[in-house]
Amino acid sequence: MKKGMLIAMLLVLSGTGQAAEKVFTGPDCSRDTDGRIFGGLWDSFSADDSGYKKYADILVKKGTVLKVTRLSSEKISKEEAERLMYRRAKRNGYSQADIDKGGSKVQYLKMDLYRQYYLVDSNKGFKAIAEYYSAVAKGNWPEDDKDAQACGVDLENIYIISDTIDGHTEDFATR
């Protein structure tokens, strides 16, 4: 009896010592308190050459309420951060020399960047998944400190969810 009790106690104690640590997965920007999620969508849709003015009109329609939900977040490599930096520079008309002189390298290569997917849903029928990048500054503060985080620093892709189809799968037991 004593042996069984001792083994049970050891199992309980060893289990508590190996509890999973909470892993930081980047900032959660779903509250969009600084308007970066909305702003990125607005900038993308309202540009004269975008061809997506209809989505911009939905976003600013009177009474529109957006709900933003973080779907996933992953820390990206420095190589991916560099690719993203040069992509943005090219899009904005900057050369590599401009990047070397400016502060972009600090923003992209000296911070931890997270690729994050957000579901953006409105009460006016707009629904999209947006691929944003958020940043966390390294330094003498905890990584989950809100002052060290920058939400939605870059927006790469927007996937418009335009339709819903009622799906059906045949009964796999008969195959």
CA dist 90 → 27, 86, 102 (Å): 27, 6, 14
Q: Coil, strand, or helix at residue 90?
A: helix
With 70 as the cut, is the pLDDT of residue 132 above it? yes
Residue 52: Cβ within 10 Å count: 15
User: Is residue 5 in some structural domain?
Assistant: no
- pLDDT on residue 175: 58
Give yes or no for residue 19 having a pLDDT over 60.
no
Question: In a 3-state reduction of DSSP, which class is residue 30?
Answer: coil
CA atoms within 13 A on the CB side of 2: 0
Q: Residue 29's pLDDT band (boundaries 50, 70, 90)?
A: very high
Give domain status of residue 38, yes or no.
Answer: yes
Tell whether the model's pLDDT for residue 17 goes beyond 60. no
CA 150 – CA 27 distance, rounded (Å): 8
Of 143, 153, 158, 138, whose CA–CA distance to 26 is shortest?
143
Kindly tell me if the per-residue pLDDT of 123 is higher than 60. Answer: yes
Whether residue 93 is contained in a domain is answered as: no
H or E stretch including 119? strand 111-122
Residue type at position 38: F
Q: Which has more pLDDT, 159 or 172?
A: 159
Number of domains in the chain: 1
Amino acid at 95: S
In a domain, 125, yes or no: yes
* Contact predicate 38/59, CB 8 Å: yes
Residue numbers of the domain that contains 144:
25-77+113-148
Assess if residue 72 is contained within a domain.
yes
Q: What is the helix (H) or strand (E) element at residue 136, kind and residue range?
A: strand 127-137
User: Could you report the per-residue pLDDT of 54-68, keeping only the tens digit for each?
Assistant: 899 888 899 999 999
Task: Tell me the CA end-to-end span of the chain in Å, nearest whole number.
Answer: 53
15, part of any domain: no
Asked if residue 72 has pLDDT above 60, the reply is yes
